[in-house]
Structure 1
Amino acid sequence: MGTTLVDAVRAFAPPLPFTVAFSGGADSTALLLACAERWPGQVQAVHIHHGLQAAADDFVHHCEAFCAGLQVPLQVLRVHAQPAPGESPEDAARKARYKAFSALAQVDPAQVAIKTIVLAQHADDQVETLLLALSRGAGLPGLASMPAHWERGGIRFYRPLLGVRADHIRAWLDQRGVAYIVDPTNADQRFTRNRIRAQLLPVLEAAFPQFRETFGRSAAHAAQAQTLLREVAVQDLQSVGCPPAIAGLQALSLPRQANLLRHWFSSVHQTTPSTAQLHELQRQIAACTTRGQKIHIKLGAGFAVRRGQWLDWYNPKALDTVSAAPPDLS
């Protein structure tokens, strides 16, 4: 059966006041309505105008009218969400949204509500995210899918509906006669998520009726395991140093070494190596048995290099060509 929308909102205990990310679609409409009814006067909304559709202005007008009826303040943020070469439209839009949220908090830091943003992703979205991760051969961070709560750039984000089915959300709105936007791109099966939604979820529903709950538990188990691995990586990085000493890396088992390296690249350099890049880097680390053995490998957005007894990483595009010396590859 799963969690109902009403139960999910009742169990939600956010800091007040807060902001709901409001697209005007069914999911965010239900979330905003339920939250505004439970915490009157404590909720505001923000709508991101991506500028990717001819109907985007109509979406804004709908959201403005809906929020006016609820007496919920609404801010409309216009973003540039055109995808870069090789980037999916979904990824570009997501990045633009989070950049806008961060900018909003920096522009008006005195506004308490924008320090907490509530998002409307639900159980079906979580399943789609997990299936996408599996299709890409993702590790634990990907299999953990979407967290229910996290912080980024001084903003607390919440997803209280991750246990609620999409069809239950729409049924709740239909019972109340609430109108919402139906985004025409949601039916476009050129997008992978839409193909999963249209083709895979009905098959899973027929074969495994409880798949939303069981997949959600698997994602939660992956998230718990990833938390433990992160704690181990933090301890190992403290032990080998930052940047890490090559001898210290060599003393670790290969899985533990890989775990530390992923954490170091992500937390310190904000880059992520591919599996092939990480394997090659580990091979080169193992080969460092003499002082003259070099390390130089393309990794993420830059290069991993050996600097004396330590491993380092640099991004040539970020170097100040006027004041920065060339990297020491010795």
Structure 2
Amino acid sequence: MHNNHLYAAIGNIVHVIDTTSFTLLDTFNVAQTSSGSVRSITFSNGYIFIAHRDKKIRVWKLTKNKGHQHIAMLPTLEDRLQHLCLPRNYVNTRRHKKKLWIQHYDVVSRLAVINKKLICSVSWDKYMKIWNVGDFRCVQSIKAHDDAINDIVVSADGEIFTGSADGKIKIWGSVFGRYGLSAMLEKHKTASVNALALNEDGLMLFSGASDRVIFVWSKVKGSDGMVLNGVLRGHYKAILCLINVRDLLFSGSADRTVRIWRCDYKGKFCCLKVLDGYERPVRSIAVDWSETTLESKGRFNVRVFSESSNGVIKISTIEV
């Protein structure tokens, strides 16, 4: 969701929908069919970054006259050429081949904005990479986990959280512009961590995994770590996506439902509503909200956009 526009990907095609009038504003093919499906979309400094199954990140820009124009692919050709000659710029891959450290060599699973100058990407190749938005160069590459990285979220102060199939959540902090490991959370044990979400102030983290539960983590004052503060149960299959809006948490699951959880004034969560009727596992959710009427001050309409089947987007409106 970006500026009341919903970017919905079906395979390698992206549809841009006005969420006010529900009109289709644009449709663009982000790459050849062989590139595979779109895995993640994020927005920074007027650019649209799109990650694919073919291990590439493509950069687009919205123009007034020509719509969405493709302008770059990460890593750029110039960046690759500058690293090509030196042996130290190569890393061994799991297939006993060598790749440049600036390249992902497996599916790019998720993108996230760090600040106006930087974005980050994570991949099934176990690496997290930091990219400069100004010149599209890779400025840091970290082997972050022992298995595929499934999700990443970034707090307002630039702290990075990654969740992996190795069952771990890792917290990364920046010192003099370089990211390093600050803390690690391991309560999911052997279950694959599939989804992460942060509340608005970054003091509360939500993690969903294949163990069917959502953990609620709270920041420890004066520390880089977090403590487990709650467990949300209700889904009967793996948690696949999470999003937090104000005091509401939305979770999508392989059980083909979306659950809406609400936090009370004591910081405890309860399930407010269950959205069902999906034909497939729910893998992505977008949310927006608006105040309803002057008479119902303090009450809001929340619209939930979630994927259904065959390219259909299901829209649910709830008053809270």
Do the two structures share a fold, i.e. TM-score over 0.5?
no
Question: Structure with the greater relative contact order (CA < 8 A, sep ≥ 6): 1 or 2?
Answer: 1
**Whose helix proportion is higher, 1 or 2?**
1
Provide TM-score, normalisation by structure 1. Answer: 0.23
